[in-house]
Structure 1
């Protein structure tokens, strides 16, 4: 085996990079790291772009900031402006490779990409490394995953399960093959810039003002953000502030880097545990572990149910899924007439970010008050959120819609009551022009 392709997906980092270690462990003479840019022209069934400007800018920043770390390891990153199913078989033939190593992603579209590559005659080794715990660590086979999160969490904690220690980056990497086609190398910077598009205008109101200060995509910024969050002892206040609506520090803001894989969840937890060892554990630091376990649960739920999570009925019995295009368009534009919901949707459109509390409120309003298809809302969040994560996005929308794992059969959040509780003086609604 002379050349192995390392196809980077949602794991754009060198620390705790199991796929990278697996690729190096195959003993190939050459290693070719490659990333395939999504097609920005694709639209959803509801007529809007599948990947919007904020997410494009964040992913592009992440890719750009992976170039130098690879150069430091005497390697490079090949950026292809084509879908993987079309680009990688052609590339493999050009460099004499038959093997691809990549992250395993248990979502239908991502699984279809791997199946297409295998159908093209390539050997694809997939590596699971997007969660804290490995599926093999669980107290039961993943197909017997508890239907509800709480029993899952309790079993994990009673068994005192802990993730493996994060892997250090390899000290060196096998060199690039000399046979990389020149046309693939030409115009990489231009392709990435075209994918990113014009930088979205900075909005000083944003709770996550990305591409400003230290809030850039990529591994270095992720680890720096994690370090400063811990250095300021913010885990201790996390449970108390996590339902905030404005500002950077009410929540950890780890999610944008976790979503692209620039930050490994095992690395985040390892440093959180070190923080607890030095400064003491608290309700707040425990709640960060709690949220990371929710993130794991949604991943294992995909391993258990796969494509069923993307049906209109989800995991429930078949039932009507109403939809109204005009009401949905008003929701997307922040023009429903409901002040808190409209403020939230305006923040999302302007910044690509939204607090977890408001994601729940907005989703609930679309489903339960406007009687629109939950899948349309999930697709809108997928397009708009710079921290979009397939597992958590799908899992949370199913939960609110009562078509997933919620034991209460869905959650309706009264936006008036939510505003009175979390925005009692209307400051958030005034900030986004709806009060």
Structure 2
């Protein structure tokens, strides 16, 4: 076995075999392929005195990895997991297995870029492909580094050029054999079975099943009218948890929309679901243009965020703000690992404007708790609410009382979640 014919496939936020171009490229280019997943020790860093990856996120990841391992095993391969320092792990693999080539998806957030640079400094060849967006950046009518700042202008240019989505690629039919040497670092995670109350179960299998039932039940037709509701599974698409770990691709969902429209016709709901996927792309492409600037206190502006206050933060995360609507939302987040888009905006606005909190601490709490945490969308949305992103209208303070009257007039949502804290 020579290093030119063997490689590592490093799964990151692309835990699927269907529409995974980077994995397909690896399978086509080598004789032996070692699929791995690394639980980075940075996940154990405790910013603001809480775990970076909370229990709900860990469970959903466990389920997704278990499903991915099962699919790889059906192809005569396997998924190998370990945890620790990335550079030490890859250096060990280079020394013990003689593998000097790594394939992976491209993630252009600062932390992930530092990781790739560290591998290159070890003398490892890294082949990374961008594959997490609905549109291919190369298909845009402008270079991503020169994209319009304002979303509306971005959307208008995309629609003017009749761009819808990039065609998904089929699942690989065969996976190259594993290296013959024994892989000593294999350390399976302790898989926890989902509870009967868990609304989301991780993995590509469940993601594809959700895609099918969503369109079979015609739920997309009412998406625009119901997407701001707060209770239940059907008011919004609920694709985001599987999208966040790449258990399904944005291209696959976009193709599902187009296939549905071909049979049933287009409507406000189908357009609006595509519209939301475009927002997701927009936040991704902004990283090509602004990169690290999106992570500093002042964001893209000149005004730094409010200083961090631990006592205020504890009241916010533990549902003790004294504002029932906000407290209910923060309880749902802690108890379920999920929150509707409307409630995310409300609790974020309350933390930033009413409690004068550091937006970066709020973003970090969402990162810890949300099963659908996505570095691009999380950062983009918090900057948007805080008025430190590209929105020309500045910040987005919400009138919480009005939001409660509009979206929870009978108080059902508040009773549902606040009763769990009593």
Q: What's the offset of the Cα at 1:41?
A: 6.3
Show the counterpart of 1:71. 73
Show the counterpart of 1:184. 185
Aligned with residue 231 of structure 1, among 193, 207, 216 = 216
Show the counterpart of 2:353. 368
CA contact (8 A) 1:3 1:95 kept: no
CA contact (8 A) 2:305 2:358 kept: no
Show the counterpart of 2:411. 426
CA contact (8 A) 2:133 2:251 kept: yes
**Which structure 2 residue ranges, 5 or more long, are not aligned?**
none
Show the counterpart of 1:18. 21
Alignment of 1:21-420 (within 5 A): 21-26=24-29, 28-39=30-41, 42-181=44-183, 183-185=184-186, 188-189=187-188, 192-193=189-190, 209-210=198-199, 215-319=200-304, 321-420=306-405
How far apart, CA to CA, are the structure 2 residues paired with 1:127 and 1:88?
19
How far apart, CA to CA, are the structure 2 residues paired with 1:225 and 1:248?
11
How far apart, CA to CA, are the structure 1 residues paired with 2:272 and 2:166?
20
Render the CA deviation track for 1:251-310: whole Å, top value 9, x for unaligned.
Answer: 110000000000011011111110111111110111000000000000000111111100
Render the CA deviation track for 1:354-395: whole Å, top value 9, x for unaligned.
Answer: 000000000000001000100000000000001100000000
Render the CA deviation track for 1:162-196: whole Å, top value 9, x for unaligned.
Answer: 32211111111110010143x223xx33xx11xx6
Q: What's the offset of the Cα at 1:68?
A: 1.5
CA contact (8 A) 1:276 1:285 kept: yes
Q: What's the offset of the Cα at 1:319?
A: 3.4
Report the CA distance shift for 1:168/1:200 in structure 2 as closer, same or farther (over 3 A): closer
What do you get for the CA RMSD once the two structures are aligned? Answer: 1.6
CA contact (8 A) 1:3 1:31 kept: yes
* TM-score, L = length of structure 2: 0.96
How far apart, CA to CA, are the structure 2 residues paired with 1:249 and 1:102?
34
* SS of match in other structure, 1:184: coil
Render the CA deviation track for 1:199-244: whole Å, top value 9, x for unaligned.
Answer: 7876x5xxxx33xxxx321111100001000000000000011001
The list of structure 1 runs, each at least 4 consecutive aligned residues, that deviate by more than 6 angstroms after superposition, is 198-202
* TM-score, L = length of structure 1: 0.93
How far apart, CA to CA, are the structure 2 residues paired with 1:162 and 1:420?
37
CA contact (8 A) 1:53 1:200 kept: no
CA contact (8 A) 2:194 2:201 kept: no
How far apart, CA to CA, are the structure 1 residues paired with 2:303 and 2:266?
45
* SS of match in other structure, 1:74: coil
How far apart, CA to CA, are the structure 2 residues paired with 1:156 and 1:83?
41
How far apart, CA to CA, are the structure 2 residues paired with 1:132 and 1:55?
24
* SS of match in other structure, 2:162: coil
Q: What's the offset of the Cα at 1:84?
A: 2.7
Number of residue pairs the alignment of both structures matches: 417
